[in-house]
């Protein structure tokens, strides 16, 4: 008996997924696939990684032998030209004429290219295939200025690609009044715009391109407001159009604006022909994400194998990292009052915007938007999808729970077993937990192979990891905390291995203990470890711990930088005050006294940074490390020197402590305080470490922090002398540096520590682990190797050359930086 034949037209991600799901369920079909590209299916979701070192083979969804091993006939570079529905045949470009029993259209979409005069010129590209990327890459080698037409998801991905190719002068042109109008609201879009502008991307909103000028190649874009932008190349990413031309020729029903009409079984107007992915139009909607396409593929597999699965729409929640900025929307992000209650958190300094919409009775989460910090996305999405009752204070969802971590509902382990964790592969919580309990899965790589969870867009991976760890813990198993898929070790384990093997750069660490090319998770972790161990100049590293480390300064609005010299204990001489004033006047900087008793100088051009540092260094100043994950300040009151209530000299002690730990790199920033009496004017108990004078000596408090999740420090030792206090601080800080996860504040570190303060006190004060001498010795080593990073950058010609806005014109300043006057000083103009 002959096997029924299924022909799949399209070998993209969705077409491949259909084949994968079909062969995993049955072998009774003869499967034939036609693809118009010359290569087998590859990952378009991570297409931009082609510019950061990944090859076409790396992006491929399968080995070349996969089709043969699964008895699938693959025809590449041979698009189907015609469908004959009466005879149930297809005819290909290369002359193949084959009969089908079922036909699956997975033709995807094509870039929308607007009809603009000059669109055909050299230097104009679309951003869709690997071949497109190869053309862009070749042309970018001779270009200095690039533009992307389109400010949606794909447009911002294309902009990142141009930046990765070394085109620092990259522009995004958007017709709408805001970026990503389908995913984020007006306030969130503005926050995203500001973040991207700080990272060097030029955003142009409300711009309609009327002409692309240039004789043979693009030279400039002309807009409807009579302005013009000179560019060397243009990438079109203004949307997509469903590939429905074959369906139209075959007489299948299509939508008025395109797309092949399908029912809940993905059947077209011909019961034997199905459409899936971006070419399919269901209930008036084209789904432009991969996860709905995968769900559609599974529906068709169910239909041809006599199952009952159907498609009734799909949740379009999404989480992305665009040019290093987290962007997420979930549930219904646009529902407004009075149909709901809205809670908004906005931090313009850090570039964070969070909005959640909850029911008017405060019981359920409806949706939301996250910009700049999307760590809570997965659990918030699950809270919406599973109608989990909110905590009594729903604002904790954006601010974080009092004294601890943000927690939506009761956490991931409390989700129902049928909660959909991986929407791309339709993997539930129950399936993931079963893989751990029954299948012995203990890591994310094994879980991907076992259930496919996390192999699509990858957005669910943090939640999958939490489920693996939670299930293992519930089963009484040892939970191993690994950094990422490239390092099968915890930060603490890698820290010890790097130290023992005396490895000094990222590539050596990756070669010895990692695999693959690394990622945005492990690179800053390794950079942190290297900084904490060897105390070398941060800008000499191939990978850096934090984006601000690149220029040893904090990037601010308008593309300028702030300069924060160290002022230990807040004590400063009149002469040094005068120098700061002179420098500020000379370079036109805005000055402000910070909450940490320092003076911040805002508005510095990147090229002026070494000149400013030079003058400050000559006056005796050093880098304040305001840009780094390191000690920031040790705040002090005036203590017994001037205050009638002061018991001890808090200023001298604060200066001694700050001078001791300055430059020490750690998993997160560190702040300290020294108060001369219990009146606590230095607010020491809100710091990572706080010292308060008593009649008998000093009380040492640790693991506090302010910010959006304030937490008081806890008493580590009482009535101790200065020498003992320093000794305990050495031990405490080194223990934190060695054992904390990356980007974990001391307060969170303590909250997660088994045994809490009792355990920490035993380690630091009672030396229960027998490592006190080692911790003190390692801290002394860091103290002995301190160097001012500003001074190193100023005195090293190779490092100094990096501080230029234009590589080929060192003395030129960024022409886009504008200022306006405010209260007699300057501020960034937008």
3-state secondary structure 611-643: HHHHHHHHCCCCECCCCCCEEEEEEECCHHHHC
| DSSP β-bridge partners for residue 222 | 211, 228
In CATH terms, are 124-238 and 417-477 the same topology? no
Query: pLDDT for 573-586, tens place per residue?
Result: 999 999 999 999 99
Which CATH number is correct for 124-238, 3.30.429.10, 3.60.20.10, 3.50.50.60, 3.40.50.1820? 3.50.50.60
Q: Are 633 and 658 in contact (CB under 8 A)?
A: yes
Q: What mean pLDDT comes out for the span 594-602?
A: 92
Rounded Cα distance between 74 and 32, Å, is: 6
Does the domain at residues 551-784 carry the CATH identifier 3.30.413.10? yes
Does the domain at residues 5-109+242-304 carry the CATH identifier 3.50.50.60? yes
Q: Is 395 helix (H, G, I), strand (E, B) or coil?
A: coil
Judge whether residue 409 has pLDDT over 50.
no
Rounded Cα distance between 787 and 151, Å, is: 43
Q: Which residue has the tokens 């300043």?
A: 813
* Residues 6+ positions from 382 with CB-CB distance below 8 Å: 388, 408, 412, 415, 419, 421, 463
Q: Are 164 and 127 in contact (CB under 8 A)?
A: no
Could you tell me which residue, 253 or 821, shows the higher pLDDT? Answer: 253
- Range scoring the smallest mean pLDDT among 27-36, 59-68, 97-106: 59-68
Instruction: Give me the pLDDT at residue 161, please.
Output: 87
Strands 427-428 and 285-286: unpaired
Domain ranges of the chain: 5-109+242-304, 124-238, 417-477, 551-784
Q: Are 733 and 701 in contact (CB under 8 A)?
A: no
User: What percent of the chain lies above the pLDDT cut of 70?
Assistant: 96
Give the orientation angle of helix 772-784 with respect to helix 722-739, to 10 degrees. 90
Closest CA to 828 of 584, 560, 600: 560
CATH topology assigned to domain 417-477: Arc Repressor Mutant, subunit A (1.10.10)
| Residue 404 pLDDT level (bands cut at 50, 70, 90) | very low
Instruction: Give me the pLDDT at residue 239, please.
Output: 87
Q: Are 570 and 536 in contact (CB under 8 A)?
A: no
Judge whether residue 452 has pLDDT over 70.
yes
Radius of gyration over every alpha carbon of the chain, rounded to an integer in angstroms = 30
Instruction: Give me the pLDDT at residue 73, please.
Output: 97
Instruction: Give me the pLDDT at residue 547, please.
Output: 64
Rounded Cα distance between 180 and 189, Å, is: 7
Query: pLDDT for 653-673, tens place per residue?
Result: 999 999 999 999 999 999 999
Closest CA to 408 of 389, 385, 432, 429: 389
* Residues 6+ positions from 752 with CB-CB distance below 8 Å: 744
Query: pLDDT for 635-650, tens place per residue?
Result: 999 999 999 899 999 9
Helix and strand counts by DSSP (H, E) for the chain: 26, 39
The 3-class SS string of 414-445 reads HCCCCCEEECCCCEEHHHHHHHHHCCCCCCHH
| Residue 809 pLDDT level (bands cut at 50, 70, 90) | low
Judge whether residue 804 has pLDDT over 90.
no
Instruction: Give me the pLDDT at residue 407, please.
Output: 42
To the nearest whole number, what is the mean pLDDT of the chain? Answer: 90
pTM to 2 decimals? 0.65
Q: What mean pLDDT comes out for the span 536-550?
A: 71
- Best mean pLDDT range from 371-375, 430-434, 543-547, 742-746: 430-434
Judge whether residue 263 has pLDDT over 60.
yes
The structure tokens listed for 61 are 């969804």
Q: Are 91 and 81 in contact (CB under 8 A)?
A: yes
Q: What mean pLDDT comes out for the span 546-553?
A: 78
The structure tokens listed for 715 are 């008493």
Judge whether residue 46 has pLDDT over 90.
no
């Amino acid at each position: 008996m002959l096997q029924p034949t299924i022909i799949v037209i399209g070998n993209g991600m969705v077409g491949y997924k259909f084949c994968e799901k079909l062969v995993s369920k049955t072998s009774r079909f003869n499967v034939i696939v036609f693809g118009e590209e010359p290569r087998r299916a590859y990952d378009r979701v991570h297409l931009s990684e082609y510019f950061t070192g990944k090859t076409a083979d790396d992006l491929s969804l399968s080995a070349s032998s996969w089709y043969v091993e699964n008895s699938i006939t693959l025809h590449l570079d041979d698009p189907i030209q015609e469908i004959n529905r009466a005879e149930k045949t297809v005819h290909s470009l290369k002359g193949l004429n084959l009969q089908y029993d079922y036909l699956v259209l997975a033709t995807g979409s094509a870039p929308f290219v607007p009809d603009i005069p000059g669109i055909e010129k050299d230097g104009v590209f679309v951003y869709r295939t690997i071949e497109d990327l190869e053309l862009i890459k070749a042309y970018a080698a001779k270009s200095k200025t690039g533009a992307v037409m389109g400010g949606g998801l794909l447009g911002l991905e294309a902009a990142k690609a141009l930046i990765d190719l070394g085109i620092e002068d990259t522009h995004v042109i958007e017709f709408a009044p805001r970026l990503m109008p389908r995913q984020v609201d007006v306030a969130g879009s503005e926050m995203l715009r500001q973040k991207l502008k700080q990272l060097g991307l030029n955003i142009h909103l409300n711009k309609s391109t009327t002409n692309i000028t240039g004789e043979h190649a693009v030279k400039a874009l002309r807009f409807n407001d009579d302005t013009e932008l000179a560019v060397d190349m243009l990438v079109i990413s203004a949307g997509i159009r469903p590939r429905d031309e074959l369906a139209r020729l075959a007489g299948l029903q299509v939508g008025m604006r395109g797309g092949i009409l399908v029912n809940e079984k993905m059947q077209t107007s011909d019961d034997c022909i199905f459409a899936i992915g971006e070419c399919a139009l269901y209930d008036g909607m084209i789904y432009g994400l991969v996860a709905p396409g995968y769900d559609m593929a599974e529906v068709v597999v169910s239909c041809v194998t006599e199952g009952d699965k159907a498609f009734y729409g799909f949740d379009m929640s999404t989480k992305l990292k665009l040019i290093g900025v987290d962007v997420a929307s979930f549930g219904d992000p646009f529902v407004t009052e009075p149909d709901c209650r809205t809670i908004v958190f906005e931090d313009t300094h850090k570039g964070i915007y969070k909005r959640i919409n909850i029911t008017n009775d405060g019981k359920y989460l409806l949706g939301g938007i996250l910009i700049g910090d999307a760590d809570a996305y997965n659990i918030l999405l699950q809270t919406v999808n599973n109608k989990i009752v909110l905590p009594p204070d729903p604002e904790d969802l954006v601010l974080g729970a009092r004294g601890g971590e943000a927690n939506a509902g009761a956490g991931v382990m409390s989700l129902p077993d049928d909660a959909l964790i991986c929407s791309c592969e339709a993997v539930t919580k129950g399936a993931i937990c079963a893989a751990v309990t029954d299948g012995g899965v203990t890591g994310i790589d094994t879980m991907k192979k076992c259930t496919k969870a996390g192999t699509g867009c990858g957005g669910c991976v943090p939640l999958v990891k939490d489920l693996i760890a939670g299930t293992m813990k519930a089963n009484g198993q040892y939970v191993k905390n690994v950094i990422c898929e490239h390092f099968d070790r915890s930060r603490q384990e890698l820290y010890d291995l790097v130290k023992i093997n005396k490895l000094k750069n990222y590539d050596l660490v990756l070669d010895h203990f990692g695999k693959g090319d690394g990622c945005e998770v492990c690179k800053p972790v390794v950079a942190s470890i290297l900084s904490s161990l060897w105390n070398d100049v941060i800008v000499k590293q191939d990978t850096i711990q934090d984006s601000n480390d690149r220029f040893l300064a904090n990037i601010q609005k308008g593309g300028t930088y702030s300069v924060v010299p160290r002022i230990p204990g807040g004590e400063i001489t009149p002469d040094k005050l005068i120098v700061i004033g002179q420098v500020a006047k000379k370079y036109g900087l805005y000055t402000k006294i910070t909450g940490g008793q320092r003076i911040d100088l805002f508005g510095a051009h990147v090229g002026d940074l070494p000149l400013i540092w030079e003058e400050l260094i000559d006056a005796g100043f050093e880098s304040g490390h305001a840009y780094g994950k390191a000690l920031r300040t040790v705040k002090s009151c005036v203590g017994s020197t001037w205050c009638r209530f002061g018991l001890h000299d808090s200023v001298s002690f604060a200066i001694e402590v700050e001078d001791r730990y300055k430059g020490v790199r750690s998993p997160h920033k560190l702040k300290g305080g020294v108060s001369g009496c219990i009146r606590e004017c230095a607010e020491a108990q809100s710091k990572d470490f706080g010292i308060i004078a008593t009649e008998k000596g000093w009380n040492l408090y640790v693991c506090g922090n302010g910010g959006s999740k304030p937490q008081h420090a806890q008493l580590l030792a009482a009535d101790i002398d200065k020498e003992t206090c320093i000794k305990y601080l050495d031990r405490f800080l080194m223990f934190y540096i060695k054992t904390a996860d990356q980007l974990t504040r001391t307060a969170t570190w303590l909250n997660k520590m088994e045994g809490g303060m009792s355990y920490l006190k035993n380690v630091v004060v009672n030396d229960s682990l027998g490592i006190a001498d080692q911790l003190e010795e390692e801290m002394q080593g860091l103290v002995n190797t301190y160097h001012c990073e500003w001074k190193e950058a100023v005195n090293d010609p190779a490092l100094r050359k990096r501080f230029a806005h234009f590589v080929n014109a060192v003395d030129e300043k960024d022409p886009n930086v504008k200022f306006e006057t405010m209260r007699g000083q300057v501020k960034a103009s937008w």
